Amino acid sequence: MVSSPWRCVPPLLVLILCSACPGGNPGGADAGNAAGDYEDEGPFASCRYEGASACGAKEGFSLGGCDTGSLGGVGADGVWTVHSRYTLVDGGSDFTVANLTLHSDGSPEWIDRGYDVTRKDVGGTSFYVGFDLASPDGGTFVRTYVGCSAPSPDVVQGCTVTCRNNQPQYEGTFHAKKVQRRASETEAQGLALVSESPARGIPADVYVTKGHAYVVSLDGPTGPGGLTVFDMANPAAPVKKPELTGPAGSFDSYWNAVWAKGDALYVASAKSGVRVYDISDAANPTFVKSVPGGEAINVHTVFVRGDRLYAMAPSSNRIAINQVLIYDVSTPLSPRLLSRYTVPGALTTARAYPHDSFVHEDRLYSFHWSLGLQISNVADPAAPVHLGAYRYERSTSHAGAVARYGDRLIAFEGGEDFGAHLRVLDVTHPEDIVKLGEWRTRPEVSIHNMVLDEASKHLYIAHYQDGVRVLDVSEPSVPVEVAHFNTWDAAQPGRGVDFYDGAIGIRRPTLEDGVEGGLLFVVDTVRGLLVLREQ
């Protein structure tokens, strides 16, 4: 079983590693603190891969300097986050993050974003796991991990190798940490569960309007993604309406984001751009068309502000374009393309995918992974003007929100990687951005999406395995957690298929959206749509 990746990264068979991934620049257009999500402190272990007749075999690893006896204390069953440091041929290094899910009871075991574990020798003084694939060209692809030591029962450090056609491609070391719900924390504080409703595929995002919740999903182990509609007349007992996906045979079902304006619902498709649905009959969306049309374009997220729709498009016809598509939606069911905007450096910087966007006071804040947070003036949407950027070492800028605090503009930015966390930035002057503060939970769990209530100055974060986190950001430089709801538990069936597992999408609708006040709508990758009530 292979699950589709949730973000637009190169697939494992064409893993891209770089020795000079973009970092922060202390001044000018990339102003800000250059500190990244984590520090490169060198190899995680003293072992190394020396080679074997069968690439990736356990005997190919040299463990002479290892404390393999400590591996006997490891409780291997459970969900692990694996942070790997690869040594490159030019002497540089690069990092990747992956999941590892192990069971001794015969339950499915997954590794590296949903691949079946095909190699396993765990127990006593051994920790050896890996997977094998047949590549599209008829060759072979293997990745294995071998433990060197266990500093604690929930941490394993060791070496890894990636092989193609029985030849080593990448070698390095890894640090694996078991992910568990924090024992000292209650399931919920300040938030109560109102209802829980499963949705198709891997639920990824939700939008609430006209008294209905529209949940979009990705392809997953339970089937293809698409759209699930819920009637929310009674939030304690949502009624499932139609489930929609692309035309038969189109494989158009990887739908990552959703927004609405008037009678139009906009769905971000990885295959057909922005799919436009008529929701004048809210319970029965009717497909109108896809825009821009005429190309197999991947739109990852959508955002609407006023009469403008912003669609983040990493690729078209499988070629990187890294564009922001800006539409006039003054007639909601007939989007009119105004521009295809590429921020400076987006086509010359590795991994500069546009992932999400936020628009405030004629400024577009676009989150471009390795290119960081990019700020542009879109007062004239046909001719955006780049204003500045904030990048940090090994940037994975993914999502955020912006609000005015008196005479200051404050941005809340979050990455999506090992160690990813919240940064608070003063973006009043885009050419001279200042980091005011930051907030984090733990490095083995990534942040994801967020919504900001400007009136209450509460920031609501979908934080994967750490569930929902609510922060008081009335003093933006010092975010204070005031509520949480743990949606995730390692024992729940289906957990651990990916590093990106748990609370992923979040909305806080208003009475104008046709639902009662004080509700928080959250989508979880396994549990589906959760409706929470603020207490």
* pLDDT tens-digit readout, 514-531: 999 999 999 999 999 999
Q: Per-residue pLDDT for 22 more than 50?
A: no
Let me know whether 204 and 350 are in one domain: yes
Domain contains 19: no
Segment 320-330 shows an average pLDDT of: 98
Q: Is the pLDDT of residue 337 over 90?
A: yes
Euclidean distance between CA atoms 53 and 168, whole angstroms: 11
Q: Which two tokens stand for residue 334?
A: 């007939």
CA 16 to chain centre: 18
Mean pLDDT of 298-315: 98
- pLDDT greater than 80 at residue 26: no
Determine, yes or no, domain membership for 20: no
Q: CA-to-CA distance for 341 and 383, rounded, in angstroms?
A: 8
In a domain, 15, yes or no: no
Both tokens assigned to 301 = 């997220």
Report the C-alpha gap between 453 and 23 in whole angstroms.
31
Whether 168 and 230 map to the same domain: the answer is: no
The rounded distance, in Å, linking the Cα atoms of 225 and 251 is 10
CA dist 425 and 316 (Å) reads 32
Average pLDDT over every residue of 50-71? 96
Categorize the per-residue pLDDT at 277 as very low, low, confident or very high, splitting at 50, 70 and 90: very high
**Residue 21: pLDDT over 80:** no
The whole-number pLDDT of residue 394 equals 93
Four-residue CA torsion sign, 308, 314, 319, 321: positive
Same domain, 233 and 299: yes
Q: Which of 84-88, 207-211, 466-470, 527-531 has the lowest mean pLDDT?
A: 84-88
Whichever domain contains 431, its CATH number is: 2.130.10.10
Segments of 279-343 assigned E as strands: 286-291, 297-298, 301-305, 308-316, 319-328, 336-341
pLDDT (0 to 100) of residue 37 = 94
Same structural domain for residues 319 and 434?
yes
Which structural domain range is residue 511 located in? 188-534
Rounded average pLDDT over 124-145: 94
H/E stretch holding 529: strand 528-534
Angle at 498 between CA 116 and CA 59, to 5 degrees: 45
Residues 137 and 226 in one domain: no
Q: Specify if 154 maps to a domain.
A: yes
Pairing of strands 140-152, 450-453: unpaired
CB atoms within 10 A of CB 132: 16
Look at residues 335, 313, 336 and name the one whose alpha carbon lies nearest to residue 324: 313
Other CB atoms within a 10 A radius of the CB of residue 53 amount to 8
> Looking at residue 175, what is its pLDDT?
98
Angle (CA) 113 442 371, round 5°: 65
Residue 88 in contact with residue 40, Cβ under 8 Å? no
Q: Cβ distance 416 to 6 under 8 Å?
A: no
The closest of 197, 223, 167 to 3, measured between CA atoms, is: 223
Judgement on whether residues 95 and 203 belong to the same structural domain of the protein: no
Same domain, 234 and 164: no
Strands (E), 135-190: 140-152, 155-164, 167-179, 188-189
Measuring CA to CA, which residue among 523, 488, 461, 519 is closest to residue 216? 523
CATH number at residue 81: 2.40.128
21 belongs to a structural domain: no
Cα separation, 93 vs 348, whole angstroms: 20
Average pLDDT over residues 285-289: 98
Q: Is the same domain home to 130 and 226? A: no
Q: What is the pTM of this model?
A: 0.93
Mean pLDDT of 318-325: 96
Rounded-to-integer distance, Cα 250 and Cα 403, Å: 40
Residue 33 has a pLDDT of 45
What is the average pLDDT across 75-94? 92
- The torsion angle over the Cα atoms of residues 113, 115, 121 and 122, rounded to 10 degrees, is 40
Cα–chain center distance at 258: 15
Higher pLDDT, 183 or 426: 426
**Is 327 part of any domain?**
yes
pLDDT at 89 (0 to 100): 78
For residue 92, what pLDDT band results from cuts at 50, 70 and 90? confident
- Does any domain span residue 485? yes
How many Cβ atoms are within 10 Å of 516's Cβ, its own excluded? 12
From 121, 150, 179, the end of a domain falls on 179
Give yes or no: residues 275 and 202 share one domain: yes
Domain boundary among 179, 197, 218: 179
Q: What is the pLDDT of residue 34?
A: 58
Q: How far apart are CA 485 and CA 192, in angstroms?
A: 8
More confident position, 48 or 35? 48
Q: What is the pLDDT of residue 19?
A: 28
Give the residue among 27, 92, 81 at the shortest CA–CA distance from 432.
27
Place of tokens 């969900």: 79
Q: What is the pLDDT of residue 11?
A: 34
pLDDT at 183 (0 to 100):
82
If residue 99 lies in a helix (H) or strand (E), which one and from where to where? strand 93-102
How confident is the model at residue 91, as a pLDDT? Answer: 81
Q: What is the pLDDT of residue 136?
A: 84
Q: What amino acid is encoded at 322 in this protein?
A: N
Mind listing the pLDDT tens digit for each residue in 151-172? 999 999 999 999 999 999 999 9
Q: Which of 445, 482, 462, 449 is nearest to 181 (CA)?
A: 445
Residue 136: cis peptide before it, omega within 30 degrees of 0: no
Tokens 């459970």 — which residue? 78
Q: What is the mean pLDDT of the chain?
A: 92
Residue 2 has pLDDT above 50, yes or no: no
Give the C-alpha separation, 218 to 5, whole Å. 9
Rounded Cα distance between 196 and 184, Å, is 25
Task: Give the end of a domain, one of 179, 201, 236.
Answer: 179
Number of domains in the chain: 2
Q: Is the pLDDT of residue 25 over 80?
A: no
Q: How many CA atoms lie within 13 A of 368 on its CB side?
A: 32
What pLDDT score was predicted for residue 9? 34
Return the minimum-mean-pLDDT range out of 29-38, 78-87, 146-155, 424-433.
29-38
Per-residue model confidence (pLDDT) at position 88: 83
**In this structure, are 518 and 480 located in the same domain?**
yes
The answer to whether position 324 is within a domain reads yes
Element (H, E) at 77: none
Query: Is residue 16 scored above 60 in pLDDT?
Result: no
